[in-house]
Structure 1
Amino acid sequence: MPNDYLVHVLVLGLATTAALTPPARPRPLARAAFLAGMVVNEVPHLVLTLLALSTVAAVWSGDLRRDVWSGVLLAGATATGVMLIALTRRATRSRSAAGAALRAAGIDRAPARRSLWRTALTPLPFRPHSVQRLRNLRYGDHRRQRLDVLRRRDRPASGPVLVYFHGGGYFSGSKNWEGRGLLHHLAERGWLCVSATYRLRPGAGFEEHLADATAAMAWARTHAAEYGADASTVVMAGSSAGAHLTSLYALRATPDERPAAAVCLYGYYGRYYGRSAEETVASTPFALPASDAPAFLIAHGTLDNYTPAAAARALADKLRAESSQPVVHVELPGGQHAFDLVRSWRLTAVIDALDVLLADIDVGAGNIPAAGAADHPDRRPTR
């Protein structure tokens, strides 16, 4: 029996199954399925290529013969290949989902037309050479109160500001992993992008997380002019726990502090650990009025088994009912948690929808290229 090929088929088969039909219960199994299928779900075409090359190598080397075990292995590889094709088809529907979400929000402009092949072949979110990263600037005295600034190397003047907060359930996470495709995209277009860490559990609680988000936003407004940006135009964004922080800050902020738009990716929107309806400081956006909310973009995967999509759907409904600003709610077909770890079809669909939303509310429109230009900036990678 070809043992190496057996391992390839088993590992890829299990990971592909976890990506295609992730269980929601029990929680330990759901978490394991998420971890196993996370990468496969975002780049299934690359995994399919790996499987095909492994199969060709096994045939070429003579490891696969005309016996029962070889037939079983080939059947397993074929079944995995069919599932990977299904995952690929599902992921490429993200652009259509984003377009439908924009139309539902009353925005007629379609997302920029982007090459599916270019996205397929460049999934790693390397920082483009045109973007400079200034690391570990302080916005407070605690070691977690640090942020990175990303800007274009030619330092265009008066660009808007994006402040981004990572996920991790408030007990883990880093400014170095999630959302990089989004940060690089806007920085290339003349934005000043800030990616911030914040204090974590168990050494910090909800009030400390919210205070850190407030301090990082204040730092961005105070220091934006030093980096050539326009401090009057700030957009806030976050993933998972960072999306929770973003939704709360956007609904709690005073008119002078309120961001121009809020971007929430695969967020958790319930109450903070152990909190009840009697909490003195609201830790869920559902407990806050939304009549003065900014424009929102909420993106969530339909198969997210970490933070189910129903809560994102409910938050979008609340915002539409109470706010006069656009609410773009994108449900990504087959999307899981943490879809922004790579520059996949799903993330690029969300980025393109954000471009349209920002143009619709006159934020950074002058820094957003015409349709089709998104594929042309200097993209030489820099770590």
Structure 2
Amino acid sequence: MAESRAAQYEWVPYMGAREPLAAVEDRFIAGPTAELPVRIYRPDVGGALPALVAFHGGCWIVGNIDLVDRPFRALAAATGCVVVAVNYQKAPEHPFPVPLDDCHAGFRWTVEHATELGINPARVGVVGDSAGGNLAAAVCLKARDDGRPVPAVQVLIYPAVDWSLDTPSAHECADGYGLTTLDMAWSWRQYAPEASTRDDPLVSPLRAPSLVGLPPAVVVTAGFDVLRDEGIAYAERLRADGVPVAHHHYPGTIHGFWWMRAAVDECEEMLNDVAVALRRIVDLAEADPDVTTSTEC
């Protein structure tokens, strides 16, 4: 496990330069079972900005806010959102529901401290890639079902949303494209070691009986990715249940391309597409909060 965690730093040379921002601040916040490090990226010092509470990828097992500093800086710069990165506790030492509870606590803390942070409390969303996308989707489900404030938007970048890995892409892209199906299956077992929990919608959001009432979504999928088809299916399920969706698909990319800004042109394209989609969603919500028109990009 230590070897896998150390190996993640091999991504850094592909991430590009650190984007300059108005302010970057490290804090600790109270989580349900531990103090959690958070890093706050502010692209501008003026006004109450929208925010994205961010959960990094890494199969629920590896990674931290230092590793993903550059992708999160790039996200803040591209979107104009304050990005609040949460360093949730990792499996297998801390399996489900600990990472999810940490992420939910990070979202609630951001809303509760919005004025102090210079954030618009009505415009706090969540974002995550891969396992982080799973956590972002699950935070939205948890908030909806608990009757608590729901994120204003969910940005799901090649999310893991079903444990079964029984899709065409899980077979077609099983090996040779970075993340393998065997890797992903092993990761699911670390995160949800009890087989009886894997059908829980908070573990596998695609298995939720209904997605009605969830926030507008931006969903990103990659063409050569084990998780491609489940991400597409989740976007389709959201749309079918009346949730506004902007789905951006990048056919020539692999899983993890957000962390490859210096090597993959589509990374910059994706960041710009997400920024445009977020502006459209905010405009849509301000015009009519009950509208459910979908956006396909």
Measured against the shorter chain, the TM-score band is 0.7 to 0.9
Contact 1:167–1:241 (CA<8 Å) still a contact in 2? yes
Q: Partners of 1:303 and 1:38 in 2: how far apart? A: 18
**What does residue 131 of structure 1 align with?**
22
Taking structure 1 as the reference length, the TM-score comes to 0.57
- How many Å apart are 1:261 and its aligned residue? 1.1
1:35-114 maps to which residues of 2 (within 5 A)?
A: none
- Greater share of residues in helix: 1
The alignment yields a C-alpha RMSD, in angstroms, of 3.1
1:360-379 maps to which residues of 2 (within 5 A)?
A: 360-362=280-282
Q: Partners of 2:285 and 2:149 in 1: how far apart? A: 21
- How many Å apart are 1:182 and its aligned residue? 5.0
Instruction: Specify whether residues 346 and 321 from structure 1 end up closer, same or farther in structure 2 by C-alpha distance, changes over 3 A only.
Output: same
**What does residue 184 of structure 2 align with?**
none
Q: Partners of 2:51 and 2:28 in 1: how far apart? A: 16
Residue 313 (str. 1) matches residue 223 (str. 2): no
Aligned length: 246
Instruction: Specify whether residues 247 and 188 from structure 1 end up closer, same or farther in structure 2 by C-alpha distance, changes over 3 A only.
Output: closer
Instruction: Specify whether residues 277 and 205 from structure 1 end up closer, same or farther in structure 2 by C-alpha distance, changes over 3 A only.
Output: closer
**What does residue 92 of structure 2 align with?**
202
Instruction: Specify whether residues 326 and 155 from structure 1 end up closer, same or farther in structure 2 by C-alpha distance, changes over 3 A only.
Output: same
- How many Å apart are 1:311 and its aligned residue? 1.2
Higher RCO (C-alpha under 8 Å, 6+ residues apart): 1
Q: Partners of 2:279 and 2:80 in 1: how far apart? A: 14
**What does residue 161 of structure 1 align with?**
51
Which among 323, 326, 342 is matched to residue 244 of structure 2?
Answer: 326
Contact 1:179–1:341 (CA<8 Å) still a contact in 2? no
Contact 2:18–2:73 (CA<8 Å) still a contact in 1? no
Q: Partners of 1:202 and 1:218 in 2: how far apart? A: 25
Taking structure 2 as the reference length, the TM-score comes to 0.72
Q: Partners of 1:229 and 1:364 in 2: how far apart? A: 20
- How many Å apart are 1:243 and its aligned residue? 0.5
- How many Å apart are 1:341 and its aligned residue? 1.4
**What does residue 348 of structure 1 align with?**
268
- How many Å apart are 1:143 and its aligned residue? 6.2
- How many Å apart are 1:365 and its aligned residue? 11
**What does residue 255 of structure 2 align with?**
337
Unmatched segments (≥5 aa) in structure 1: 1-30, 43-122, 367-383
Secondary structure in structure 2 of the residue aligned to 1:340: helix
**What does residue 158 of structure 2 align with?**
266
Q: Which range moves more in the overlay, 276-285 or 163-172?
A: 276-285
Secondary structure in structure 1 of the residue aligned to 2:252: coil
**What does residue 236 of structure 1 align with?**
126
- How many Å apart are 1:141 and its aligned residue? 7.8
- Greater share of residues in strand: 2
- How many Å apart are 1:242 and its aligned residue? 0.4
- How many Å apart are 1:187 and its aligned residue? 4.8
Contact 1:159–1:364 (CA<8 Å) still a contact in 2? no
Instruction: Specify whether residues 352 and 226 from structure 1 end up closer, same or farther in structure 2 by C-alpha distance, changes over 3 A only.
Output: same
AA partner of residue 148 (structure 1): R
Secondary structure in structure 1 of the residue aligned to 2:120: strand
Which among 277, 280, 285 is matched to residue 205 of structure 2?
Answer: 285
Contact 2:61–2:92 (CA<8 Å) still a contact in 1? yes
- How many Å apart are 1:164 and its aligned residue? 0.5
Deviations 1:66-105 (A, max 9, x none): xxxxxxxxxxxxxxxxxxxxxxxxxxxxxxxxxxxxxxxx
